[in-house]
Each structure stands twice: as C-alpha cells, then as structure tokens.
Homo-oligomer: A and B are copies of this chain.
Amino acid sequence: MQKSVKPIRTGEEYIQSLRGRDLKVYLFGELVKEPVDHPIIRPSINAVAKTYDLAVEEEDLSAKSSVTGKLVNRFLHIAESAQDVVLQNKMQRKLGQLTGTCFQRCVGMDALNSLHSTTFEMDEKHGTKYHKRLLEFIKMVQYENLVIGGAMTDVKGDRSKGPTEQEDPDLFVHIVDRDDKGVYISGAKAHQTGCVNSHWMIVMPAMRLTEKDKDYAIVGCIPADAPGITYIYGRQSCDTRSMEPGDMDQGNSQFSGQEAMVIFDRAFIPNELIFMDGEYEFASMLIERFTCYHRRSYVCKTGVGDVLIGAAASIADYNGVPNVSHIKDKLVEMTHLNETIYGTGIASSYQSHKMKSGVWQNDDMLANVCKHNVTRFPYQIGRFAQDIAGGLMVTLPSEAEFRSPETGPLLKKYLKGRKGVDVENKMRILRLIENMTMGRNAVGYLTESMHGAGSPQAQRIQIARQMQLGYKKQLAKDLAKVQEEGDETLENSDYFKRVFKLDNSNE
C-alpha cells in the first residue's frame, strides 16, 4: 500500500520519500506544486527529518520492538515498560532542543500506543479483530520506518451540539458509504499537525459518542496522498519571511511546525486498516488514553524552552550584562519553570502501569498536571526572554538593511554591543527570540502549548475527575475528629492507588 519498501533511514531519505506524491495542498489560494520545495513548508519537513537523523546519530534512542523483533524508531515503538514511556519524553526533549519547534511525530506515536490497548479491549468485548489488524499495520510501518500523522480534532461547528445535531452532518468526520472492501468518509479535521509531512494518517473521533453517533465511531488508516483528501495550509505569524531572501529575519530559518486543515471527501479506508467501526462506547476510552499519552508528550516544549533560555542568556552576554543579578535571577526562574514541566512529565511517564494488551500507559493525573503547566509556563518563559532581550527585538531593521551598502555600515556602527560581539550574531539571536515569542515558532511554543492535546479547561476537567475529593475529605475528617455517617471513599478514580503502588516494575 506504501510505495517505499526499503526502510527510510536518514532525514534525507525521508525528504526524498515525500517527493512526487500527488498531494492536494493549498497555500495562499494556490495548489502547491511540490510541498517539499515550497519555502514555507520546507522548514516543517526539516523538523520531521531531524527525527530520522537523530535516530541515526544516537542509536540507543531506538527501541527493540517485540512486534517485529527489530530495532525501531521510538516514534513507532509500542511501550513495553515504564522506562520506555520515560524514554519517549527524553527523546522529545532532545528533539525540541535540536529543532526549536514541533517535530510533528508524537501524535502518531501516541495514537499507535493508545490504539494498542483500546483495540485489544474492543476485541475482548466484541470479538472483533482490530488488535491483530493494528499489529499488522505497526509491523509494516516499523519495517518501512514511516511517519504517521493523526487526524482527530473535528471542526465541530456549534460547540454546544453533538455530531448528529449539527445542521451539516459533515462537521464531524463520519462514514458516508461502505462496500465490501471498506468505508468512505467525509468531513474535516482542523489544525492537523504535520499532516502534509506524513505517509499515513490515523483518523480518530475526538469526542465521547453515543449510540446514535455510530457512523462517527470510525478509526482507520489512510495514506496521506489518498484520493479525496484536500489540505488547506494554515498561516503562521511571519510565515512569508521564509520566502524572503536571506536567513536572518526568520530567526530559525531551518525548522518550523506545520498545521493544516484536512478535508475528506468520500476518502476510502480498506477493511484491513479499520480499527473501530461503530463501537461508539470505546470512543471516549481511546480519546482518554490518547490524550493521556499526548498531554505528557508536551515535555518536548522543555527542549524548546532550553533553546529560548539559551537565546536569552546569549543576548544578555552580548549586551555585557550576564552577571547582573536581576538578569541571572530571570534565567534561574525560566529554568525553574521549564524543569517543573519536565519533572511533572517524567513523573507521569514513570508512574505508568501495564494494560491488558501489554502496552504501558502513563499516569493520567500527572499527564494533565504536566500539560496544564505547559499551558502556563512557556508564556512566562517567553515573557522573561522578551524582558532580557530588550526592545531592540521588535524594532530591529530587516536583514536587507543590514546587507545594504547605505544602511549596513550604519547598523554595524550603531548596533554594536560589548567589545568582541559581532552585530550580525546579535541580530540573529534577537530574531530567534522574536521567532519563538511572536513569530513562526511562537505558534508552537505558545499557542499550541495552550491548545494542543486539549485546551486548559480540558485538563482541569480531567484533574477534577481524578482528584478523589472523597478520599481527601476523609483524611481531613479523621484529623479533625469529625464523626459522620457515610463512606467518603467511594470514587471512580484510582490515582492514589497508583501513587502508593510500591512497585512499578510489573503491573
């Protein structure tokens, strides 16, 4: 089903694998001829390519998969221990450091892992064959080393209404037809990360479904270049700077994220790639497990945060003030916030437990706590970076001025900092900070940190479900010597069981 059969190894091979596909991608009102060569799209492809190159450079990052018995890229690996889950985080932080942006490959990893346990439990209940199908698919992508995107967030229309209550049934992706080979789906998924850069997309529902939503309970795989798919590329702040000559004003000219709207118009999913088909009651299980993984995957932002802290420290250095106490204190605070995100993510991964299917699932409460910190701290870190950078970050003339024979010499004369600092380097670092706090990569570092994997309120709801107030009330009442009828400790969360589990080396 996929053209390439020799596994992709390097970033360069990955980029080659994307060429010549018949993708229908629209950008600025025009059909893009070859996305790989489009200056606005290319940096996002480079970021994915880095996930290949890193695996080559640091072989230990790969994992031995029980599915295929071979070493596979960890983005395609099914977690076989708590440590495997932790190692995802470490890889994410490293890639954040190397790209300073979203490298787009976590959705696929988290989708495969959450489907592993969910299909197993669906089969258990319904006698279906989804789990085996999924394993076949995993084998193939592990062998060929492909990029898997997810397609989850429906465009939703009126948010106070469910899928079948909308005026237009297509506002949620659903089955519009089926034959004995498979199903046909229509609808649209909004802000899909890295979709144009994927080989396959996993289509999944994005909300709790009821019996009347059966046609919306569809999970399946589809090649990114399948007929019936249209991509409309999202604009990012300062995106057209990638089309300008030079590389300074872009800040981070090599890497960026990508989000596009994906529209399905009777796109086909063959039976052997369907992993849910009508089992609506499993939609919320899949979503919860996926978001549980994915909210902790935002540990990647600590790698991006490392870059921004480094940029702020560099500009302080260029300005000759690296040892001024308030500057140092702000760098400490940025680090403290960044590591707090990291710590809560690692704790969630470490506090994993084994599911029936054998895959390991991270801790739900701590995953939400991690992501909730991600919705806050990057904004604070970004603000500190702007504080340290100084106003020049937003009043700097363009690279063209710097290169111009009239104005270039003036800038070199007047933008001089402390002795020994090259004006161009100073401008480059300022543009990087602009890129990360207002420009292309602010999209990923700030706004996506806010809304990706669920907006802040989604985490609060999930924390509320897990917080075991009954258990805690009983603690308080015991200490206050309150005598009362009624058993406080009945509740449907088992967070404290996980907290007080003495051993996480097995289930």
Closest to A459 in B: B336
Q: Which of A133-141, A210-218, A278-286, A438-446 forms contacts with chain B?
A: A438-446
CB proximity to B under 8 Å, residues A433-467: 434, 438-439, 442-443, 446-448, 450-452, 455-457, 460, 463-464, 467
30 sampled A-B residue pairs with Cβ under 8 A: A28-B401, A30-B404, A100-B479, A158-B419, A159-B321, A167-B416, A232-B410, A235-B396, A235-B397, A237-B237, A237-B434, A240-B240, A313-B472, A325-B326, A329-B329, A336-B372, A336-B463, A339-B463, A340-B344, A340-B369, A342-B499, A346-B347, A375-B387, A386-B450, A391-B448, A391-B450, A391-B452, A393-B447, A429-B476, A438-B446
Closest to A342 in B: B347
| In the assembled complex, A199 has its CB within 8 A of some CB on chain B | no
Give the oligomeric copy count: 4
**B463, A332: Cβ atoms closer than 8 Å:** yes
**B321, A160: Cβ atoms closer than 8 Å:** yes
| In the assembled complex, A110 has its CB within 8 A of some CB on chain B | no
Known: A159-B320, A394-B447, A469-B313. A414 touches B455 (CB 8 A): no
Q: How far is the CB of A298 from chain B (nearest CB, A)?
A: 13
Closest to A350 in B: B350
Residue of B237, B379, B390 touching A439 (CB-CB under 8 A): B237
Q: How far is the CB of A308 from chain B (nearest CB, A)?
A: 8
For residue A375, which residues in chain B have a CB less than 8 angstroms away from its CB? 387
For residue A335, which residues in chain B have a CB less than 8 angstroms away from its CB? 463, 467
Closest to A234 in B: B395
**B434, A397: Cβ atoms closer than 8 Å:** no
For residue A481, which residues in chain B have a CB less than 8 angstroms away from its CB? 247, 253, 428
Q: Give A180 to B298 CA distance when docked, in angstroms.
A: 61
Known: A97-B475, A340-B369, A481-B247. A396 touches B314 (CB 8 A): no
**B476, A397: Cβ atoms closer than 8 Å:** no
For residue A395, which residues in chain B have a CB less than 8 angstroms away from its CB? 190-191, 234, 259-261, 443
**B188, A311: Cβ atoms closer than 8 Å:** no
CB 8 Å contact bits of A383-406 with B (1 = contact, 0 = none): 100110011111111101101101
